[in-house]
């Protein structure tokens, strides 16, 4: 099929490398394109109002395993994952388009379950389903969602606005979605070996839900608005804290110091990670899929923020030459490297 003599394995580039490689040629021709590739969402000007647009695709066998993913949860998650990108721009999410590729193994009732989750997410997050495309697939389920939102220009938060001295904040807690996935994968193996054994997820609801039914942090965006704090930079955590803080640092041309002991990890996440012989900090840094918001604020805003129950201060922004560092509990300093969830490296 491809007669090129030179062939490059896509894995060698990784997802970000591939995207960078493919989009470096992207030219901007329309003056209403204010932000193209390279942030959580594109920003498009419509008569002074800013439209935010983002899209994410979920593929069976890559992003989800129907052995343990209820279709209703999957529909819910497919929407959340996309809304999260709009919130990460400090925008108001308002519409989604949903495209489905469905193989013949799925009866109508299965697709209805999926849509129940989609509608539940739309209802709960005040979203209009405005379009999409539905087709058959040769194999497996494909879900592609595009989310739209809006914001005034003065409210939009990009990844590139972090300044030296800014505090690094994260909502909720991290690593739970990844540890929840390990648990589900283990129970799947147990089940495959002996279908009579029921899954042992007793008392693990929280981390299982973090994996199967994440919630985009619309509430955090609203909270920040209420207390009059506009982050200087923001991104959602889909690929893990390490990968995301590097995006902010790189695009802001800054460094950072993150403190291991400040990274919020739920006790159940911690304890279950230990049972799997996983380092809870590594799960938080590289696990991904938490869909929390990572953002930076001016130090002057600390007083307004310090009593928020659901936001942790995990470090601060430095000048670029100081590097991007993790200060461990023992005081050692490590350079942060992105070992986030990589759809190419994980599934080859």
192 binds a copy of itself (CB under 8 A): no
Contact in structure between 308 and 243 (CB atoms under 8 Å)? no
Dihedral sign for Cα 214, 218, 223, 229, please: positive
Rounded to the nearest 5°, which phi and psi values hold at 13? Answer: -90, -30
Classify the phi-psi angles of 323: left when phi > 0, otherwise alpha if psi is within -120 to 50, otherwise beta.
left
Which one, 135 or 330, has the nearer CB to a copy of itself?
Answer: 135
For residue 133, how many other CB atoms are within 10 A of its CB?
Answer: 10
For residue 154, how many other CB atoms are within 10 A of its CB?
Answer: 7
Q: How far apart are CA 126 and CA 71, in angstroms?
A: 21
Find the part of the chain contacting a copy of itself (CB under 8 A) among 5-13, 190-198, 266-274, 287-295.
5-13
Choice from 64, 106, 291, 316 touching a copy of itself (CB under 8 A): 106
Choice from 88, 102, 153, 331 touching a copy of itself (CB under 8 A): 102
Find the part of the chain contacting a copy of itself (CB under 8 A) among 95-103, 163-171, 219-227, 283-291.
95-103
267 binds a copy of itself (CB under 8 A): no
258 binds a copy of itself (CB under 8 A): no
71-87 and 218-226 helices, crossing angle to 10°: 30
Find the part of the chain contacting a copy of itself (CB under 8 A) among 145-153, 168-176, 195-203, 212-220.
145-153
Which one, 110 or 282, has the nearer CB to a copy of itself?
Answer: 110
255 binds a copy of itself (CB under 8 A): no
Dihedral sign for Cα 151, 243, 315, 181, please: positive
Contact in structure between 252 and 161 (CB atoms under 8 Å)? yes
In the window 9-28, what residues touch a copy of itself (CB under 8 A)?
9-11, 13, 15, 18-19, 21-23, 25-28
Site string for a copy of itself, 59-78 (x = CB under 8 A): xxxxx--xx-----------
Classify the phi-psi angles of 148: left when phi > 0, otherwise alpha if psi is within -120 to 50, otherwise beta.
beta
The site for a copy of itself, by CB under 8 A, has a size of: 92
Choice from 89, 142, 302, 304 touching a copy of itself (CB under 8 A): 142
Which one, 54 or 325, has the nearer CB to a copy of itself?
Answer: 54
120 binds a copy of itself (CB under 8 A): no
Which DSSP category does 32 fall into? T
146 binds a copy of itself (CB under 8 A): yes
Choice from 271, 296, 338, 347 touching a copy of itself (CB under 8 A): 347
Contact in structure between 325 and 257 (CB atoms under 8 Å)? yes
Report the DSSP beta bridge partners of residue 58: 143
What six digits make up the tokens of 177?
């979605």
Find the part of the chain contacting a copy of itself (CB under 8 A) among 90-98, 284-292, 314-322, 323-331.
90-98
In the window 306-345, what residues touch a copy of itself (CB under 8 A)?
343-344
153 binds a copy of itself (CB under 8 A): no
């Amino acid at each position: 099929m491809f007669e090129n003599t030179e062939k490059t394995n896509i894995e060698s580039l990784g997802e970000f490398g591939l995207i960078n490689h493919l989009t470096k040629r992207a030219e901007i021709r329309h003056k209403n394109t204010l932000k193209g590739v390279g942030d959580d969402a594109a920003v498009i000007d419509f008569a002074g109002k800013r439209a935010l647009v983002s899209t994410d695709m979920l593929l069976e066998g890559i992003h989800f395993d129907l052995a343990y993913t209820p279709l209703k949860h999957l529909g819910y998650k497919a929407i959340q994952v996309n809304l999260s990108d709009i919130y990460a721009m400090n925008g108001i999410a308002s519409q989604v388009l949903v495209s489905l590729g469905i193989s013949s193994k799925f009866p109508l009732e299965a697709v209805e379950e999926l849509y129940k989750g989609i509608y539940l997410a739309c209802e709960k997050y005040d979203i209009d389903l405005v379009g999409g495309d539905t087709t058959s697939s040769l194999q497996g389920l494909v879900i592609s969602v595009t989310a739209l939102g809006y914001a005034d220009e003065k409210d939009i938060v990009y990844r590139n606005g972090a300044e030296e001295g800014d505090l690094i904040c994260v909502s909720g807690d991290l690593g739970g979605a990844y540890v929840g996935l390990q648990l589900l994968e283990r129970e799947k193996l147990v089940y495959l070996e002996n279908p009579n054994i029921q899954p042992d997820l007793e008392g693990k609801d929280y981390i299982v839900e973090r994996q199967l039914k994440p919630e985009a942090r619309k509430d955090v965006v609203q909270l920040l608005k209420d207390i009059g704090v506009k982050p200087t930079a923001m991104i959602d955590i889909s690929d893990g804290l390490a990968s995301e803080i590097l995006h902010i640092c790189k695009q802001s041309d800054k460094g950072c110091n993150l403190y291991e002991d400040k990274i919020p990890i739920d006790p159940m996440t911690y304890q279950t990670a230990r049972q799997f012989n996983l380092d809870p900090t590594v799960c938080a840094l590289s696990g991904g899929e938490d869909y929390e918001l990572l953002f930076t604020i001016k130090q002057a805003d600390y007083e307004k923020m310090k009593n928020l129950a659901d936001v942790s201060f995990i470090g601060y922004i430095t000048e670029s030459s100081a590097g991007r560092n993790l200060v461990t509990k023992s005081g050692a300093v490590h350079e942060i490297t992105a070992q986030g969830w990589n759809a190419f490296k994980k599934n080859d």
